[in-house]
Amino acid sequence: MADRDDFARVADPYRGELLAHCYRMLGSVHDAEDLVQDTYVRAWRAFDRFEGRSSVRAWLYRIATRACLTALERRGRRPLPSGLGAPGAYPERGPGPAADAVEWLEPFPGPFRGPFPGSYDPAAAVAERESVRLAFVAALQHLPARQRAVLLLREVLGWTAAETAELLDTSSPAVNSALQRARDRLRAVAPREDATAPGLDDRTAQGFLDRYVEAFEKADVAGLVELLREDVVMEMPPVPVWFRGRADVAVFLASHVHRFGPGFFRLVPVVANGQPAYGTYARAADGSYHADALQVVDLTAGGIARVTAFRRPVPFARFGLPERLDS
């Protein structure tokens, strides 16, 4: 029998990775935070009955996963604009109005701690970053809830078919079948592997990103376009319209994003979904800069493959960013 006084000591180290797990399941940081809190309340109440037949980590994941599955019974999937329909055909017209009624996929602050407290495994850290990349989490939204759970438990967490079956109250063959269907569905909806693999060393990538920031702040559309892949995607939730292709994105940038000229935007680097990201601030009449969007960038060896600009309201504080910058 476990002692409740030991609960915080043995359970708190897993809070960060449980948040990432619930985020992958739900596509919402806010909902994930609520579910993790609920997981810890349930676990604390039951801790004196915990007999140690599994690790505390596995026990917490069981509680969290079941809570996520229950929550998903009442929720639809959280898409990005590119998951809803064809790209916009008239970039000169602008993005149009926001679709505030849609529950959009949210960005995730991180990197976060690796999967095992008190240790650092570079390979595991890379795997953890990849498991919260926007493209992967957006693809997960196309899976039914139980397939989503099976895929994450088996391929992200490394659970066996038997362990997964026990959690889901099903059989190992059913788990293996669900895993295969999930893999098939992801191959149908996810970007090509070469569209998300970084393929750049750190120094080269940083130089590329520095050029992006400089061109964006100078409203240098030509300089920005040079950094984009030919098949680049730009999307701006909660606006449902999105654009594909260097030519259309260039028209949109010139006619709408950078129409105010150099100095209108300032970019502050952060990390979101394990990817380069920028808190983007727009200049106000008094010369100060106010939070405008959080850009998450997919950088590949061939250039920038995708820019997802999460527009207001974005919880800048969650990413350690202020709401305002002085001039």
User: What structural domains does the chain harbor?
Assistant: 4-192 (1.20.140.160), 202-325 (3.10.450.50)
- Dump the DSSP string for 238-270: TEEEEEESHHHHHHHIIIIITTT-TTSEEEEEE
Q: DSSP assignment of 71-104, as one string?
A: HHTT------GGGTSPPPS-GGG------TTS--
Question: To which H or E segment does residue 299 belong?
Answer: strand 289-300
Mean pLDDT by 10 residues, the chain (327 residues): 75 94 96 97 90 86 96 90 91 87 92 45 56 92 96 95 95 97 90 52 90 98 97 95 96 94 96 95 94 95 95 87 88
pLDDT of residue 114: 42
Whole-prediction pTM value? Answer: 0.90
Residue-level pLDDT at 113? 46
